[in-house]
């Protein structure tokens, strides 16, 4: 590992990633952002635009919350350059498989048999229990919980504080609202809110 990292996306989310990167031993951290008016993030410099990532001699992570943008940018960068970051306070079982470009944030718990895809965000204090399968570019937001053997499709967003009951499958590109409780499989993409979760639109 080069211990140099560029984070694409100089935002609040990027700032949190920078802190995790520092705790993972990266000593030289900088941002890339396509907004040329942003020069700094979390005390780290913005040194260029996202398309420059491939040419910079550093590991790369995409710090952008929007899944389709995150995916588009990550797919333009060779997988060998992508970092995978795990906050030291996260608890991750030994047999968990985590894809490149994924960030596991402070206080997250990922239990045995889980598989986390590429480019995912497992946010602060989220839990992913045994044998869950989290698809590529999914976001398991702050304080949300996947009970055992849950499947979350690619690019799906599980909102802050939401709970998904055990053995549930959620399709790709779904949006589960903050605080929702998902008790049945979700097979059609859309936004689902409430307890129990129902389709908003
Ligand atoms: C579900 C969500 C995506 C809907 O956003 P939106 O499309 O902009 O929807 P609106 O705010 O226009 O709300 C539409 C309706 O749904 C209701 N609603 C919105 N979010 C809701 C939620 N989480 N639970 C219950 N009802 C909700 C609104 O009250 C509103 O109801 P009304 O029509 O009776 O007034 C959004 O509210 C949400 O929960 N986002 C997740 C945020 C999050 O988890 N952030 C994590 C950062 S780590």
Distance between CA 129 and CA 131 in Å, rounded?
Answer: 7
Distance CA 32, CA 38 (A): 9
Q: Where in the chain is the domain with CATH 2.160.10.10?
A: 84-196
Binned at pLDDT 50, 70 and 90, residue 91 comes out as very high
Average pLDDT (172-193) is: 98
Computed from CA positions of residues 43, 45, 50, 55, in that sequence, does the dihedral angle turn out positive or negative?
negative
Which residues make up the CATH 3.40.50.20 domain(s) of the chain?
Answer: 4-81
Ligand 1 mean position, distance from CA 177 (Å): 6
Band of pLDDT at residue 31, cut at 50, 70 and 90: very high
Q: Whose CA is nearest to atom 1 of ligand 1?
A: 177
For the domain spanning 84-196, the CATH number is: 2.160.10.10
The pLDDT score that the predictor gives to residue 1 is 52
For 4-81, CATH gives 3.40.50.20
pLDDT over threshold 80, residue 23: yes
Pair 41, 18: CB distance under 8 Å: yes
Nearest residue (by CA) to ligand 1, atom 3, is 177
**What is the maximum span of the chain, computed from C-alpha positions, in angstroms?**
48
For 64-78, how does the pLDDT look when each residue is reduced to its tens digit (9 = 90+)? 999 999 999 999 999
Indicate whether residue 158 lines ligand 1 (CB < 6 A).
no
């Amino acid at each position: 590992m080069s211990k140099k990292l560029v984070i694409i996306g100089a935002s609040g989310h990027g700032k949190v990633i920078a802190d995790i990167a520092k705790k993972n031993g990266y000593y030289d951290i900088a941002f890339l952002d396509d907004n040329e008016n942003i020069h700094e993030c979390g005390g780290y410099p913005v040194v260029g635009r996202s398309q420059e990532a491939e040419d910079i001699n550093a590991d790369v992570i995409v710090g952008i919350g929007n899944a389709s943008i995150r995916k588009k940018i990550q797919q333009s960068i060779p997988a060998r350059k992508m970092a995978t970051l795990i906050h030291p306070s996260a608890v991750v079982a030994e047999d968990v498989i985590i894809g490149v470009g994924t960030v596991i944030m402070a206080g997250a718990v990922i239990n045995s048999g889980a598989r986390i895809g590429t480019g995912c965000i497992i946010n602060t204090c989220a839990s992913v229990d045994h044998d869950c399968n989290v698809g590529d570019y999914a976001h398991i937001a702050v304080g949300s919980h996947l009970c055992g053997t849950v499947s979350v499709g690619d690019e799906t967003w599980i909102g802050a504080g939401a709970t998904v009951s055990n053995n549930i499958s959620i399709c790709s590109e779904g949006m589960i609202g903050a605080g929702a409780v998902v008790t049945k499989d979700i097979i059609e993409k859309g936004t689902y809110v409430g307890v129990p979760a129902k389709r908003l639109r």
